[in-house]
Amino acid sequence: MELPLYEKIANLIEQQIQEGIFLPGSKIPSVRKSSKQMEVSVATVLQAYSLLEDRGAIKARPQKGYFVQEHRLQPSDPAKIAPTQNDGTIHTLLRRLLHASQNNDIIQFGAAIPKSQFLPIRQLQRSVGRLMRLEPEICAAYEFTPGSLSLRRQIAIRMLDNGCQLQPDDITITLGCQNALMLSLQAVAKAGDTIAIESPAYHGVLQVIEVLNLKAVEIPCCTETGINLDLLEEAAEEWDIKACIVTPNNQNPIGATLNYQARKRLIKQSVTFGFTLIEDDVYGELSYKDKRERSLKADDTHNTVIYCSSFSKSIAPGFRIGWVVGGPFQAKIEHYAYVQSLAIPTLTQTAIANFLENGAYDRHLRKTRQTYQDNLARCQALIAEHFPLGTTTSQPKGGFLLWVTLPGTVNAMTLHAQALEKNIGFLPGLAFSLTAQFNHHFRLNYALIWDNKTDAALKELGKLCQQLVS
Ligand SMILES: Cc1ncc(COP(=O)(O)O)c(C=O)c1O
Q: What is the DSSP string of 41-109?
A: -HHHHHHHHHHHHHTTSEEEETTTEEEEPPP----B-GGGS-HHHHTTSHHHHHHHHHHHT--TTSEE-
Neighbour tally for 148: CB within 10 Å: 23
Shortest-distance Cα residue to atom 7 of ligand 1: 177
Q: Which atom of ligand 1 is nearest to the CA of 180?
A: 11
> Hey, is 332 helix, strand or coil?
helix
How many angstroms is it from 309 CA to the middle of ligand 1? 8
Give the per-residue pLDDT at 14.
87
How many angstroms is it from 200 CA to the middle of ligand 1? 15
Topology given in CATH for the domain delimited by 5-68: Arc Repressor Mutant, subunit A (1.10.10)
How many angstroms is it from 6 CA to the middle of ligand 1? 42
* Residue 126 and residue 351 in contact, taking contact as beta carbons nearer than 8 Å: no
Q: Which atom of ligand 1 is nearest to the CA of 317?
A: 9
Pocket-testing residue among 185, 312, 444, ligand 1, by greatest number of atoms within 8 A of Cβ: 312
* Residue 365 and residue 167 in contact, taking contact as beta carbons nearer than 8 Å: no
Q: Which atom of ligand 1 is nearest to the CA of 321?
A: 10
Q: Which atom of ligand 1 is nearest to the CA of 252?
A: 1
How many angstroms is it from 178 CA to the middle of ligand 1? 6
Q: Which atom of ligand 1 is nearest to the CA of 111?
A: 14
Pocket-testing residue among 203, 251, 313, 344, ligand 1, by greatest number of atoms within 8 A of Cβ: 313
* CATH number of this structure's domain 81-117+363-469, picked from the four choices 3.10.110.10, 2.40.430.10, 3.90.1150.10, 3.40.50.150: 3.90.1150.10
Q: Which atom of ligand 1 is nearest to the CA of 179?
A: 11
Which of the 8 DSSP states describes residue 430? G
Pocket-testing residue among 202, 314, 432, ligand 1, by greatest number of atoms within 8 A of Cβ: 202
Q: Which atom of ligand 1 is nearest to the CA of 181?
A: 4
Query: Any residues with Cβ below 6 Å from ligand 1, and which?
Result: 112, 176-178, 202, 204, 247, 252, 280, 282, 310, 312, 317, 322
Q: Which atom of ligand 1 is nearest to the CA of 322?
A: 10
Give the per-residue pLDDT at 69.
81
How many angstroms is it from 328 CA to the middle of ligand 1? 23
Rounded Cα distance, 348 and 325, in Å: 20
Tens-binned pLDDT, residue by residue, of the chain (470 aa): 688 999 999 988 888 877 667 777 778 999 999 999 899 999 999 999 998 988 888 888 888 899 888 765 666 655 444 333 333 477 777 887 777 667 778 898 988 999 999 999 999 999 999 999 999 999 998 999 999 999 999 999 999 999 999 999 999 999 999 999 999 999 999 999 999 999 999 999 999 999 999 999 999 999 999 999 999 999 999 999 999 999 999 999 999 999 999 999 999 999 999 999 999 999 999 999 989 999 999 999 999 999 999 999 999 999 999 999 999 999 999 999 999 999 999 999 999 999 999 888 999 999 999 999 999 999 999 999 999 998 999 999 999 999 999 987 889 999 999 999 999 999 999 999 988 788 899 999 999 999 999 999 999 999 999 999 86
Give the per-residue pLDDT at 78.
53
Question: Pairing relation of β-strands 276-280 and 305-310?
Answer: parallel
How many angstroms is it from 280 CA to the middle of ligand 1? 8
Domain ranges of the chain: 5-68, 81-117+363-469, 139-359
Q: How far is CA 124 from CA 28, 114, 119, 310, in A?
A: 54, 16, 9, 16
Neighbour tally for 267: CB within 10 Å: 19
- CATH no. of 139-359: 3.40.640.10
Which of the 8 DSSP states describes residue 177? H
> Hey, is 299 helix, strand or coil?
helix
From its phi and psi, is residue 57 left (phi > 0), alpha (psi between -120 and 50) or beta?
alpha
| 68 contacts: CB under 8 Å, gap ≥ 6 | 17, 22, 23, 24, 25, 26, 28, 57, 58, 59
List 278's β-bridge partners, or say none.
245, 306
Q: What angle do CA 413, 416, 418 make, to 5 degrees?
A: 115
How many angstroms is it from 253 CA to the middle of ligand 1? 11
Pocket-testing residue among 174, 197, 206, 252, ligand 1, by greatest number of atoms within 8 A of Cβ: 252
Give the per-residue pLDDT at 83.
31
Give the per-residue pLDDT at 81.
40
